[in-house]
């Protein structure tokens, strides 16, 4: 364990979670959005972070990735023994936090290949471009196409592929199925299952709760900026009342 781990934390003990968000409080200006959120994730686990529109899911991911907004006023974020809460977003990214935002941020004027290459200009490097094309053959077939002209599903693959080009320890996916046709959702689901089988620690935020729960090991449900459920994904799949109350599915 790195020396930054404070002695009062459980770092170094066999129970230390790989990832932990502890008592996060975050604001946009005066708006108090994330209200004491805590959860932890084991290495290789997939956690579905669910909740209604406006529950605070994107804000929680952004607070974890140390984006400038929302502003984290209290709480700790630990990844593999590193205190992310003391860092800026670029440092967190260097330590392996990859946030794939809802809008996917494909860079205009660059081909698929150049988009991935750009992610690989600075260490720590992750997967090779060949490995990424192996996972997403469609990207390989379209490597010379301009990234922004890809279909929505292909752009999602490119956004995930680009994240994997860095040495990712924690993959944060914000609505990867958003706006995609069911058949494309299935294709992305199969790919994410492959990523899971490779042992990638992942948080998936999704309106399509059932799809996210089918992929995930665990689920955390947010409501008005607070955690109202933390348990197994299967428990949520089995509990229609819980889904109705907080997810409306």
Ligand X SMILES: Nc1ncnc2c1ncn2[C@@H]1O[C@H](COP(=O)(O)OP(=O)(O)OP(=O)(O)O)[C@@H](O)[C@H]1O
Give the footprint of Mg ion on this chain (CB under 5 A): 58
Which is closer to ligand X, CB of 28 or CB of 108?
A: 28
CB of 91 to Mg ion, least distance (A): 24
CB of 68 to ligand X, least distance (A): 10
Which listed option, ligand X, Mg ion, none, makes contact with residue 182 (CB within 5 to 8 Å by class)? none
Residues that bind ligand X (CB under 6 A): 28, 31, 33, 51, 53-59, 69, 207
Pairing of strands 82-83, 71-79: antiparallel
Which is closer to ligand X, CB of 9 or CB of 35?
A: 35
How far apart (Å, rounded) are the C-alpha atoms in residues 35 and 11?
25
Which listed option, ligand X, Mg ion, none, makes contact with residue 69 (CB within 5 to 8 Å by class)? ligand X
186 neighbors 14 (Cβ within 8 angstroms) = no
SS3 (DSSP) at 204: strand
How far apart (Å, rounded) are the C-alpha atoms in residues 206 and 173?
8
- Report which of 32, 45, 3 is spatially closest to residue 226, judged by C-alpha positions: 32
Which is closer to Mg ion, CB of 103 or CB of 238?
A: 103
Which listed option, Mg ion, ligand X, none, makes contact with residue 211 (CB within 5 to 8 Å by class)? none
Which is closer to ligand X, CB of 82 or CB of 156?
A: 156
CB of 56 to Mg ion, least distance (A): 9
- For the chain, the first-to-last Cα distance in angstroms comes to 42
How far apart (Å, rounded) are the C-alpha atoms in residues 133 and 138?
7
């Amino acid at each position: 364990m790195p020396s930054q781990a404070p002695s009062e934390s459980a770092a170094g003990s066999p129970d230390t979670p790989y990832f932990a968000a502890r008592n996060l409080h975050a604001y946009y200006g005066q708006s108090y959005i994330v209200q004491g959120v805590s959860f932890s994730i084991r290495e290789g686990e997939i956690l579905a972070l669910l909740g209604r529109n406006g529950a605070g899911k994107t804000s929680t991911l952004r607070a974890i990735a140390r984006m400038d907004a929302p502003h984290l006023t209290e709480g700790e974020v630990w990844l593999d023994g590193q205190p992310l809460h003391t860092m800026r977003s670029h440092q967190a990214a260097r330590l392996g936090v990859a946030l794939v935002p809802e809008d996917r941020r494909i860079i205009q004027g660059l081909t698929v290949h150049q988009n991935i290459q750009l992610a690989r200009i600075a260490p720590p490097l992750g997967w090779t471009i060949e490995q990424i094309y192996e996972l997403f053959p469609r990207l390989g077939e379209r490597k010379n196409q301009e990234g922004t002209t890809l279909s929505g599903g292909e752009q999602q693959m490119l956004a995930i592929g680009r994240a994997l080009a860095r040495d990712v320890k924690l993959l944060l996916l914000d609505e990867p199925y958003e706006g995609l046709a069911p058949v494309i959702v299935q294709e992305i689901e199969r790919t994410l299952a492959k990523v899971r089988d490779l042992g990638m620690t992942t948080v998936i935020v999704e309106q399509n709760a059932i799809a996210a729960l089918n992929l995930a090991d665990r689920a955390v449900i947010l409501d008005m900026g607070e955690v109202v459920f933390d348990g197994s994904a299967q428990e949520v799949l089995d509990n229609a009342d819980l889904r109705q109350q907080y997810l409306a599915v």
